[in-house]
A and B are shown apart, each in its own frame.
Chain A
Amino acid sequence: MYTQALNTAETDDRGLEDAAKAAQFQARIDAEERIEPNDWMPAAYRKTLTRQISQHAHSEIVGMLPEGNWITRAPTLRRKAALLAKVQDECGHGLYLYAAAETLGTSREELVDAMLAGKAKYSSIFNYPTLTWADIGTIGWLVDGAAIMNQIPLCRCSYGPYARAMIRVCKEESFHQRQGYEIMLTLCRGSDEQKAMAQDALNRWWWPVLMMFGPPDATSQHSDTSTKWKIKRFSNDELRQKFVDATVPQAQYLGLTIPDPGMTQDAEGHWRYSEIDWTEFKQVLAGNGPCNRDRMAARRKAHDEGAWVREAAAAYATKRAQRQTAQAAE
C-alpha cells in the first residue's frame, strides 16, 4: 500500500531490551490497548512505525503531483474546485501523518530529507502518469478505494497517534473515492469518446492499483512482526482480494471492463484475478517507473527553490524573538 517497501525483514533488537518490559508491552498490545508516545516500546516497534507512518506521509505529498497535474485543466469550475480541495486534503493528510511520525522522535525535516535523498519510499502508484481527465476519476475511484481498504484497519492500529490520524484520513478518503467514482459515472454516461477515455484509464491503472497492496503473502517477510504488534491486521492478499471483490461490481455498474480476461468468480463469490506482473512492481519500486524521476525532481525542485523562503521565515522569527526579549528587558 502506501508503505509497500516495509515488506522487508526487520532487525530484531528486542533481545537487548528488558525482557519484562517487552512482555508487558506485548500484553498491552494483545489486550488491544493503545500505545502512546510516552509509553515504553521496543526500538524495532518505534522504527517500524516511524518508517510506515513517514512512508505514508511521503505518499500523500508525492501523491499531490499526479492529480495536481490536472488542477489547471479541470474541465469545469466545479471539478476544478473539487480537485483542488482534494489535493489540498492530501497535503493535510501528509502534515498530520508527519506530526504522528514526529511523536516517535524523528523530526519532519529529517523524514522529508530522507525522502528527497531517495532513502525513503512512497507508494509505487504515484509513479504512473495522469494522461487524461479520466485518470483523475480513476485515481479517486481505485487508488483512494485501495487506500481506504488498507487504512480502515489502521484505524485500530496499536499506535494511538497513527490510529487517530487514520480515522480522519479515512473520512476524507471515502469522500474522495465517491467523488472519483462520480467522475467515472459522468464519463460513462457521456459520449463514446468519454467512455473510451474512462476505459483507457481503467486499463492503465488496474494492475498498478492491485500492486498497491504489496507483494503476495508468500513473499512478504515483514507481515509477521507487524501482525503481532497489531500494526497490520490483514495480509496483503486478503486486502487485495477484498478490494477486487468490492470493485468488480462497481466496474460492471459503470459498464467498464476490467482488463483481466482471465478473471473468474469462484463458488464463494470471490473474483479471482490473474497473475500480477511483479517484475513491473519491482522495477517501479527500484525507481524505474514511468514517473519516478519526475516525481522526485518535482519534490526536490519545490524544496530547493523554497529554501530561501524558509530561511527568511526562520530569520524573521529569530529577529522578532530578539526584539521581544529586548523589549521585555527595558
Chain B
Amino acid sequence: MPVANVEVSETPLVLYAVRRADDALILGHRLSEWCGHAPMMEEDMALSNIALDLIGQARELYTYAAKAEGGDNDEDKLAYLRDVRQYRNLLLVEQPNGDFAQTLVRQFFYSAFADLYWRAMMNSRDATLAAIGAKSEKESAYHLRHASEWIIRLGDGTEGSHVRAQGAIDHLWAFTGEMFAVDDGERALIHAGIAIDPGTLRGGWMTTLSDVVSEATLTLPQNDWMQQGGRSGRHSEHLGHLLSELQSMQRTFPGQTW
C-alpha cells in the first residue's frame, strides 16, 4: 500500500523553518552513517555527537514549523512523509560522506556558516527561532572548532591527506553559494526582523574559511560557479537514496506508533 506524502502549506515562516530543519536532519543523518565506521573511536564519538546536536535542532525546527502551519503535521510527518521534491535542504548537506576529508570539509563549510547564522538568529524577533538560535549557536561553535582542527590536520598532515582535503574543497565548493541565497518569501521575513540576511554573513564566513584553509596550507577555489536548487526541491540524485533509507519504516508500516 503506497503511503501518501503529507502536504505542507509552505507559508514563508513554515518554509523558512522547514528548510533549516531539513539542513540539520540531512546533515545529521549523513554524519550518523559514520557511527561505528570512523577512522578512530574518538571520531565515532565526535561525529555522533554532532549528528545528535543536528537531529535535535531539526526536531525543534520541524515542531515549530508544524505549529506555525497549524495543521496535523508533526516532526515525524515532516521528516518521514515528504518525498525528495518536498525536501528543502541545501545541496551541500546531502552530498555523500565520501572519505573522511569530504565529510569534514562539508562540515567545515556548513558549520562556519551555521555558527555565524545561529548567533545572528539569537536576535530574531521570533522568540522560538531566537531560542533555537541560542542553543544551536553553542553547538555550532563546537562543530566549527572540531571541523577546523581537522581541516588543519588533514591539510598540513601528510602529502596524501593534503591531496584528499584539497580535492574535497574543490569538489564541494560549488555547493556553498546556496547558503547565502534569499528568495522573496525570505526577504519579507528579513524585513520583519524574523530572519537574518545571510548575505551579511558572507564576509565573516570567508574570513573563517581563509584563516583555516591557509593555516592548513590549502587553497580555496577561484571558480565561482555555484549549484543551486535544494531550497526549492531540485536536489542531487543522492538525496532520494538517503530518504528511502531514512523513511523506510514509516513507508513500510504506515500510521503506526513506534
Residues on A close to B: CB < 8 A? 61, 64-65, 68, 71-81, 84-85, 87-88, 91-92, 94-95, 133, 183, 186-187, 190-191, 193-194, 298, 301-302, 305-316, 319
Whether B100 and A306, one on each chain, are in contact in the complex, defined by CB atoms closer than 8 angstroms, is: yes
| Across-interface contacts of B79 in A (CB, < 8 A) | 77
Give 16 pairs: A residue, B residue, CB < 8 Å, sorted on A: A68-B35, A68-B37, A73-B248, A73-B249, A80-B32, A88-B44, A91-B41, A95-B41, A183-B258, A298-B36, A307-B39, A308-B161, A310-B40, A312-B158, A314-B157, A315-B158
A314 to B80, CA, bound (A): 41
| Across-interface contacts of B37 in A (CB, < 8 A) | 68, 298, 301-302
Interface size bracket, B side: 35 or more
Whether B36 and A133, one on each chain, are in contact in the complex, defined by CB atoms closer than 8 angstroms, is: no
Given contacts A77-B79, A95-B45, A302-B39, contact A84 B32 (CB under 8 A): yes
| Across-interface contacts of B248 in A (CB, < 8 A) | 73
Given contacts A76-B258, A302-B37, A309-B40, contact A81 B152 (CB under 8 A): no
Give the Cβ gap from B239 to chain A, nearest Cβ, in Å: 14
Within 8 Å by CB of A186, from B44, B51, B258, lies: B258
Give the Cβ gap from B41 to chain A, nearest Cβ, in Å: 5
Asked whether any CB of chain A lies closer than 8 Å to the CB of B55, the reply is yes
Give the Cβ gap from B67 to chain A, nearest Cβ, in Å: 15
> Nearest B residue to A311 by beta-carbon distance?
B158
Would you list the 6 A-B pairs with minimal beta carbon distance, nearest first? Answer: A306-B39, A312-B157, A312-B161, A75-B249, A309-B39, A75-B258
Given contacts A81-B52, A81-B59, A309-B154, contact A64 B36 (CB under 8 A): yes
Given contacts A65-B36, A312-B154, 7 further A-B contacts (CB under 8 A): A71-B32, A75-B80, A80-B55, A85-B48, A190-B257, A308-B164, A310-B40
Give the Cβ gap from A158 to chain B, nearest Cβ, in Å: 27
> Nearest B residue to A73 by beta-carbon distance?
B248
Within 8 Å by CB of B35, from A77, A84, A305, A313, lies: A84
| Across-interface contacts of B245 in A (CB, < 8 A) | 72-73
Main secondary structure of the interface of B (DSSP, over half): helix
| Across-interface contacts of A61 in B (CB, < 8 A) | 41
Chain B residues numbered 218-258 whose CB sits less than 8 Å from any CB in chain A: 245-246, 248-250, 253, 256-258
Given contacts A73-B248, A95-B41, A308-B160, contact A194 B256 (CB under 8 A): yes
| Across-interface contacts of B160 in A (CB, < 8 A) | 308, 311-312
Whether B246 and A72, one on each chain, are in contact in the complex, defined by CB atoms closer than 8 angstroms, is: yes
| Across-interface contacts of A313 in B (CB, < 8 A) | 153, 157
Residues on B close to A: CB < 8 A? 25, 29, 32-33, 35-45, 48-49, 51-52, 55-56, 58-59, 62, 75-76, 79-80, 99-100, 152-154, 156-158, 160-161, 164, 245-246, 248-250, 253, 256-258
Give the Cβ gap from A99 to chain B, nearest Cβ, in Å: 11
Whether A94 and B49, one on each chain, are in contact in the complex, defined by CB atoms closer than 8 angstroms, is: no
Given contacts A72-B29, A316-B157, contact A133 B55 (CB under 8 A): no
> Nearest A residue to B152 by beta-carbon distance?
A316
Whether B44 and A91, one on each chain, are in contact in the complex, defined by CB atoms closer than 8 angstroms, is: yes
> Nearest A residue to B253 by beta-carbon distance?
A193
| Across-interface contacts of A133 in B (CB, < 8 A) | 249, 258
A80 to B49, CA, bound (A): 13
Give the Cβ gap from B174 to chain A, nearest Cβ, in Å: 25
A65 to B37, CA, bound (A): 8
Give the Cβ gap from B3 to chain A, nearest Cβ, in Å: 13
> Nearest A residue to B39 by beta-carbon distance?
A306
| Across-interface contacts of A84 in B (CB, < 8 A) | 32, 35, 48, 51-52, 55
| Across-interface contacts of A92 in B (CB, < 8 A) | 45
Whether B157 and A311, one on each chain, are in contact in the complex, defined by CB atoms closer than 8 angstroms, is: yes
Whether B41 and A306, one on each chain, are in contact in the complex, defined by CB atoms closer than 8 angstroms, is: no
| Across-interface contacts of B45 in A (CB, < 8 A) | 88, 91-92, 95
Whether B157 and A77, one on each chain, are in contact in the complex, defined by CB atoms closer than 8 angstroms, is: no
Whether B39 and A79, one on each chain, are in contact in the complex, defined by CB atoms closer than 8 angstroms, is: no
Given contacts A74-B249, A133-B258, A306-B38, contact A91 B153 (CB under 8 A): no
Whether A64 and B44, one on each chain, are in contact in the complex, defined by CB atoms closer than 8 angstroms, is: yes
| Across-interface contacts of A308 in B (CB, < 8 A) | 158, 160-161, 164
| Across-interface contacts of A71 in B (CB, < 8 A) | 32-33, 35
> Nearest A residue to B53 by beta-carbon distance?
A81
Whether A79 and B258, one on each chain, are in contact in the complex, defined by CB atoms closer than 8 angstroms, is: yes
Given contacts A84-B55, A312-B153, A312-B157, contact A77 B76 (CB under 8 A): yes
Within 8 Å by CB of B48, from A87, A310, A316, lies: A87
| Across-interface contacts of A307 in B (CB, < 8 A) | 39
| Across-interface contacts of B32 in A (CB, < 8 A) | 71-72, 80, 84
A292 to B191, CA, bound (A): 59
> Nearest B residue to A193 by beta-carbon distance?
B253
